[in-house]
Structure 1
Amino acid sequence: MGCGCVRPIVCPAQYIVRDFCTPQVVPVIHPVVTVNRQNIVPVPQHFIQPLTTNVVVAPQQFVPAAAGFLGGPGFGFAGRRFL
């Protein structure tokens, strides 16, 4: 030891940490509920109820329907009698 050599000092180790990220797929489930709604909307439906009535006309009130189109006494109100 008398050679004049210096004995080295060894310090504790220092660590350098290098972080790397590796993607890992994680399934995430999103439930979706489809609701089918049936909305009832009132829609009017019209029905025609035909009625037939028989009317007896006195002989002095009878004017043929075709006479009005031929220019006869049945045209308009001329020549008609109303009771």
Structure 2
Amino acid sequence: MCGCPIVCPPRYVVHDYCTPQVVPVIHPVVTINRQNIVSVPQHIVQPLQTNVTVNRGFVPGAQAFPAAGGFGGFGGFGGFGGSNRLFF
């Protein structure tokens, strides 16, 4: 043996460190304003008016102007129109 030093292959010791690096991540947000049209019924009352002429015809035995007053002597309701059964 010659007394020469023996050199072994080197050993590597690695110390890992983490350094944060900011990477922007963009999340797009879309806002939609929607107007929904809903049909709602609106009840409208339309008044109608009509004129009705009632032909009473000739009443036999009726006086032209009765003593109790009124017109035509038909009686009822002050002597006017009480006997008309079309509307009562």
TM-score by length of 1: 0.56
Matches within 5 A, 1:1-83: 6-56=3-53, 59=71, 60=74, 63=77, 80-81=82-83, 82-83=85-86
Structure with more relative contact order (C-alpha pairs < 8 Å, separation 6 or more): 1
Whole-angstrom CA distance in 1 between matches of 2:13 and 2:6: 21
Seen in structure 2, the aligned counterparts of structure 1 residues 52 and 39 have a Cα distance that, compared at 3 Å, is same
- Residue 43 of structure 1: how far off its partner (Å): 0.5
Structure 2 segments unaligned to the other structure (5+ residues):
57-70
Moved over 4 A (4+): 56-59
Whole-angstrom CA distance in 2 between matches of 1:42 and 1:49: 21
TM-score by length of 2: 0.54
SS at 2:31 equivalent: coil
- Residue 12 of structure 1: how far off its partner (Å): 2.4
CA RMSD in angstroms comes to 3.0
Percent identity of the aligned residues? 63
Structure 1 segments unaligned to the other structure (5+ residues):
65-79
Seen in structure 2, the aligned counterparts of structure 1 residues 36 and 62 have a Cα distance that, compared at 3 Å, is farther
Amino acid at match of 1:9: I
- What is the aligned residue count? 65
